[in-house]
Amino acid sequence: MTTDNSARFSVSTWSLHRTIGLCWWDAPGRSAKSDERWGTGEIAMRDLPAALADNGYARLHLCHFHLESRSPAFLKELRAALDAAHVTLGMLLIDDGDITDPAHHERDSAWVAGWVDTAAQLGAQHARVIAGKQPPSAEALALSVRHLSALSDFASHQGVSLCTENWFDLTPGPNEVLYLLDRVSPTIDLLTDFGNWTHAGKYRDLETLLRRAIDTHAKAHFDTVSGMDTGDYRACIAACEKAGYRGPFTLIYDGPDADEWAGLAAERAFIQDCLALKR
């Protein structure tokens, strides 16, 4: 993990969903179709790397549904745009599939594997997969370990590292996350998301995970009345410091202000102030 301040900030395309506009939500058992839920956007995906660089970012997390095509020509073009802008694709975020679904786990695991292959074609360092959407029964945890192990082995042969996250019902707390990390072979990495947990003891539990994390989704909560929830954000950053976390802060902005670049800048400045980082 890096301690270079210039490399500590990353952006997820989720934070720019209004700027990007169109999405193509591919999912197991359903073909991707153009979706204008966030409008038609202001920028083409091929131009996003340059825009990130212009705003001072050199790392990107890319949501799978923001890819309009998986053709070799399009993926090659996007990879070239990333290279030209000197933007590293830290993760392809595979935001669907349930490898613990009692009926469809094999189908969903195969679907995820197809996206891991896409991550490799794009030159992504990691592919982030959902550990499971079922409650954490012994059976569901065993399915997750089995499929994550197979996917990790497949990813390693593709030159990609597999990563999972504290997200959805299978991982309601640190015990379930650590159970998976300690049993999946080949080993997988962990992305810790600030915003996915709201339970009592959240900051203590985040601190536990941050000791194992290689990346974060550093999400601040915003509302139209009081703006950023600085108390929550500060406590999440404090958990990072207590855990000795030195990896990237991948900014997640989905507040009410349509100026997404400004929202990202506010999050970055807040973290810099908390950690006394200098650009």
Read off the CATH number of the domain in which 153 is found. 3.20.20.150
Tell me the β-bridge partners of 164.
Answer: 190
pTM metric for this prediction = 0.96
How high is the pLDDT of residue 224? Answer: 84
Query: Which residues fall within 8 angstroms of residue 133, CB to CB, at 6 or more apart?
Result: 98, 100, 101, 168, 169, 170
Residue 50 to residues 47, 78, 217, Cα–Cα distance (Å): 6, 11, 22
Q: Where are the alpha helices (DSSP H) in 217-259?
A: 230-243
Per-residue pLDDT of the chain (279 residues; tens, 9 = 90+): 334 455 799 999 999 999 999 999 999 999 888 899 999 999 999 999 999 999 999 999 999 999 999 999 999 999 999 999 999 999 999 999 999 999 999 999 999 999 999 999 999 999 999 999 999 999 999 999 999 999 999 999 999 999 999 999 999 999 999 999 999 999 999 999 999 999 999 999 999 999 999 999 999 999 988 899 999 999 999 999 999 999 999 999 999 999 999 999 999 999 999 998 644
Residue 8 tokens read as: 């500590």
Beta-bridged to residue 227, according to DSSP, are 223
| One-letter amino acid of 48 | L
Interatomic CA distance for residues 115 and 100, integer angstroms: 17
pLDDT given for residue 196 in this prediction: 97
**Number of domains composing the chain:** 1
Q: How far apart are CA 187 and CA 90, in angstroms?
A: 18
* pLDDT value at residue 127: 98
Where are the extended beta strands (E) located within 194-273?
215-219, 222-223, 227-228, 249-252
Domain limits at 34? 5-275
Q: For position 225, what pLDDT does the model report?
A: 81
pLDDT of residue 278: 45
Strand partners, 250: 10, 217
pLDDT, residue 277, reads 62
